[in-house]
Structure 1
Amino acid sequence: MRQQLQQHLNDNFAFLQGKQLLLAISGGIDSMVLLELFRNLPYTIAVAHCNFGLRAAESDGDEDFVKQWCAKNNIRFFTTRFATQEYAETEKCSIQLAARELRYNWFSALLENEGFDYLLTAHHLDDTLETFLINLTRGTGLDGLTGIPAQNGTVIRPLLPFGRDEIEAYAVANSIAWREDSSNASDKYLRNRIRHQVVPILKELNPNFLNGFQDTLVHLQQTESLVQDAVTELYSKIVTEKEEQLHIAIEKLKLIPNYKAYLYQWLKPYGFTAWDDIYNLINAQSGKQVFSENYRLLKDRDYLLLEKQQVHRTQSIEITENQEVTLEQGRLTLYSVTNVTEDRGGKVIFVDKDKLKLPLILRKWKEGDYFYPSGMTGRKKISKYFKDEKFSLIDKENCWLLCSGDEIVWVVGKRSDRRFEIEQETNNIIKIELQLL
């Protein structure tokens, strides 16, 4: 197995040579085999052990076991203890998720603070099979069936080509000591039930099941690569990125066979789960929305618009001379000037200070708002201006009005009101500018 691992590393992870490697070691058979293998290979290693405090003296025994092994073999050892139960209750998540978040946050800190290049874990082929079956039972896209990745950033999983039986055989043949985790014998968790009740039947039905499963993973990974190529190619034709928004052209999307699959691939990174609701947006009325934790998807005429949810929308802000305010679009400033020198295409206006009621008010629009657009005659409702300028629903929500009392001075960054324009006899000029961030 050592020669097979070395060949696997040479073929796929040659960049590990000369790097500082941190091994995540629990004390169980998988991680102790990983540690023993790398101790006998030409790599620079150290050990990180997490004590989750979930099994009382047994957890402390695991920590002592790994610590003593490292001391005996002169290998750097790092350990930490977590209040896992308290963390899970505070974060309102499962014990498994709490333990995962705690350990990987700690591992990341170790890599950064101690100068390690990569973290190595002892995940193996049976772990991949169990994950595959868990995802299959819950319903998943193709990406949930392609297995545990061999590399995820700085995390490397070098034992993925090897099954649990191979690892156990190597441990016995080489007299490797390990600690048994009593929780692994319990069927309380879904993964353990699959491990104890489902996987043995599959292996009994086909003694070469793991080899066949590994071949299937390769085919699925290749298929996923083809899917990603197609998804990327069509993205540029249908999706437009505008000011931290995605605009998905609905009519173009509907021309694609299986367009729902493409929509799923484009939107899944944003945390959406209500896929039927998203697909129904295609034929819904404008204004319908679907939310994920941090994003919303909005139907607006011929487009689906994706944007990050606004945490807080201030109703109004006061701003006066020689002051600045930061908005979503940029930084708004008001300063006195002696003459008009610049024209920035709507991002700066000059107004007659004597016509203003300071402080000015920044606010969102409301029904019935109107102004007297510069360069035009008569007045226009803000809602009509939005329609003429083809504002999306999101654009309307994000738009600010700068007002003097009840009168609109500027649709910020777009069109000023002619009532406040400077004239030949103007003595006091204020420059109002939107500086884009």
Structure 2
Amino acid sequence: MFNNSPLNKMREFIISRRLIKPKDKVLVALSGGPDSVFLLYALLALRNELKINIIAGHLNHCLRGAESNKDEIFAKTLAKKEGIKMISAKRDVAGYAKRKKLSIETAARELRREFLLKTADKYNCQKIATGHNLNDQAETVLMHIIRGSGLTGLKGIPAVNGKFIRPMLGISREEILEYLRVNKIAWREDSTNKSPDHTRNRIRLTLIPQLKKYNPQIIQSLSNLAESAGSDLDLVEQLAEQAFKQTAKIHKAKINIDLSLFNSYNKGLQRNVLRLAVLHLARQGVAPSFEAVENCIHLMAGRVGSRFEILPGIWCIIGYKTAEIAGAPASTAVNMGAAAKKLTIPGRTAFNSHLIRLKIIGSQILGKTLIRSADAVYYDWDRLKNRDLTVGKRQPGDAMVPFGSSHKKKTKEIFIEAKVPQAKRDSWPVVRCGSEIIWLAGLKRSNHAPVNKETKNILKLEFIK
């Protein structure tokens, strides 16, 4: 069916990259377009040599009305003609995009990926083959350059990504179309591929023809760049993984990065460690922009208390010793949570992840030394007992008169002096007597009701972290 050239190119690409092993079952993503049709026929021609089983999958995106339905019918007919199993499904891509606030392209990619992975799992397929070709690689690299990318973007489309394989990355679109025509093989055309509304289409239809005037081999040159960048990136990623393990502590919904270690790294390593942290929390396949990463690195060099949205919904919050990468600013999460609580006397009261313990001590201990610390404070109980004692979070404009002072001090200043990370300040226990602060738990007590020789009953407060 094929002349040797493109088939041999694909065969050599598969073997040299070890994309497929004998006895693998391969799910072919069959859209009905020229690339996927070529992919199916090429794998069928190589099936016996590679010792593989083949099935096909088609997702109807329901975006082009009758055209989409005709694509599905075409794919099913082709699979039946070639005697292979076909699995198809329909998804409302436009509705999904609207609900998730995504572009149509991103929504289609997510739903297509989900369909292929679920189908592969259901039918025990070890590999999922897609029809990305040499031109797709060049277009992807150009898109990343235009949007602003580092080494990761120059890598382009990987030949292997988990179960996904791209056996046609060494074959140009022109070669594919020529062989389909010569062998009188039909395919479906997607009318949206000619629309100037999509960035990739404008790159393919306008930019690349202009670049060919300067370099007729621009497609191959960009593919070579991706190959070179990919090899370099493999080494960088190994180093970044090691650095990430040393620097980051992974929690359920956040990652803490040791700033002392992070700031000792080369800037290239910093960029990759930060990307790894964000990708642990972000939507599949979504990475921060170069500018966002650079802004974060700048803040992490010493802007304590600052915060930056590195991706929509992903924040970098700078503390004294660590930077927190989290799904939302910590203060936002806390503001939705713990309200003020009345303290139990005697007893324990929980606030966020802390405990405040209170007990009344008789005057018989007045002659003894009271062991005071930041976590244990004492008050004249009789001067406080007729007023409500509560624990809650700080409020805007909060201030107190610290013990031993005659002047008010803002709680913000006390937090800064104690080097409490900004991300923790809104969840810090603040003990009040009525409306007045008497203790920033574990940090500073006020001058309210100090114990003296006239004191008969002592209230002891302890901060249990």
TM-score normalised over the length of structure 2: 0.69
Q: Does 1:307 align with 2:325?
A: yes
**Contact in 2 for aligned 1:52/1:83 (Cα 8 Å):** yes
Question: Within 2, Cα distance between the matches of 1:332 and 1:159?
Answer: 61
Question: Within 2, Cα distance between the matches of 1:368 and 1:410?
Answer: 11
Question: Within 2, Cα distance between the matches of 1:86 and 1:240?
Answer: 38
Name the counterpart of 2:155.
146
Q: Which of 231, 234, 259 matches 1:248?
A: 259
Q: Which of 395, 417, 420 matches 1:391?
A: 420
**Contact in 2 for aligned 1:297/1:304 (Cα 8 Å):** no
> C-alpha deviations, 1:38-69, integer Å up to 9, x for none?
22313222221122222222221111111111
**Contact in 2 for aligned 1:27/1:66 (Cα 8 Å):** yes
RMSD (Å), alpha carbons = 4.8
Q: CA deviation at 1:142?
A: 1.8
**Contact in 2 for aligned 1:132/1:144 (Cα 8 Å):** yes
Name the counterpart of 2:231.
222
> C-alpha deviations, 1:134-179, integer Å up to 9, x for none?
2222222221111101122222212112211222233234432211
Q: CA deviation at 1:22?
A: 1.9
Aligned residue for 2:399, secondary structure, equals coil
Q: CA deviation at 1:29?
A: 0.7
Q: Which of 10, 13, 19 matches 2:24?
A: 19
Name the counterpart of 2:188.
179
Question: Within 1, Cα distance between the matches of 2:182 and 2:96?
Answer: 40
Question: Within 2, Cα distance between the matches of 1:31 and 1:154?
Answer: 17
State the number of aligned residues: 410
Against the structure 1 CA distance between its residues 229 and 80, is the aligned structure 2 distance closer, same or farther, given a 3 Å change threshold? Answer: closer
> C-alpha deviations, 1:391-428, integer Å up to 9, x for none?
2222333434577877999977x6899x9xxxxxxxxx
> C-alpha deviations, 1:186-212, integer Å up to 9, x for none?
333222222223334545655544444
Q: CA deviation at 1:31?
A: 0.1
Name the counterpart of 1:287.
305
Structure 1: runs of 5+ lacking an equivalent: 335-345, 348-354, 420-429
Aligned residue for 2:39, secondary structure, equals helix
Aligned residue for 1:316, secondary structure, equals coil
Against the structure 1 CA distance between its residues 176 and 296, is the aligned structure 2 distance closer, same or farther, given a 3 Å change threshold? Answer: same
Aligned residue for 1:69, secondary structure, equals helix
Aligned residue for 1:79, secondary structure, equals strand
> C-alpha deviations, 1:342-391, integer Å up to 9, x for none?
xxxx99xxxxxxx999997454578336899xxxx99x997687556542
**Contact in 1 for aligned 2:134/2:220 (Cα 8 Å):** no
**Contact in 1 for aligned 2:137/2:223 (Cα 8 Å):** no
**Contact in 2 for aligned 1:316/1:364 (Cα 8 Å):** no
Aligned residue for 2:200, secondary structure, equals helix
Aligned residue for 2:323, secondary structure, equals strand
Q: Does 1:6 align with 2:37?
A: no
Q: Does 1:134 align with 2:165?
A: no
Name the counterpart of 1:427.
none
Question: Within 2, Cα distance between the matches of 1:106 and 1:18?
Answer: 23
1:30-429 to 2 correspondence within 5 Å? Answer: 30-40=35-45, 41=47, 42-203=51-212, 206=215, 208-229=217-238, 231=240, 239=247, 241=249, 244-249=255-260, 252-253=263-264, 259=267, 261-269=268-276, 270=278, 271=288, 273-274=291-292, 277-278=295-296, 281=299, 286-292=304-310, 293-300=312-319, 305-308=323-326, 309-310=329-330, 312=333, 313=335, 314-316=337-339, 318=341, 327=352, 330=353, 361-364=391-394, 367-368=398-399, 386=415, 390-401=419-430
**Contact in 2 for aligned 1:17/1:43 (Cα 8 Å):** yes
The percentage of aligned residue pairs carrying the same residue is: 25
Question: Within 2, Cα distance between the matches of 1:287 and 1:79?
Answer: 52
TM-score normalised over the length of structure 1: 0.73
Q: CA deviation at 1:78?
A: 1.8
Question: Within 2, Cα distance between the matches of 1:113 and 1:214?
Answer: 34
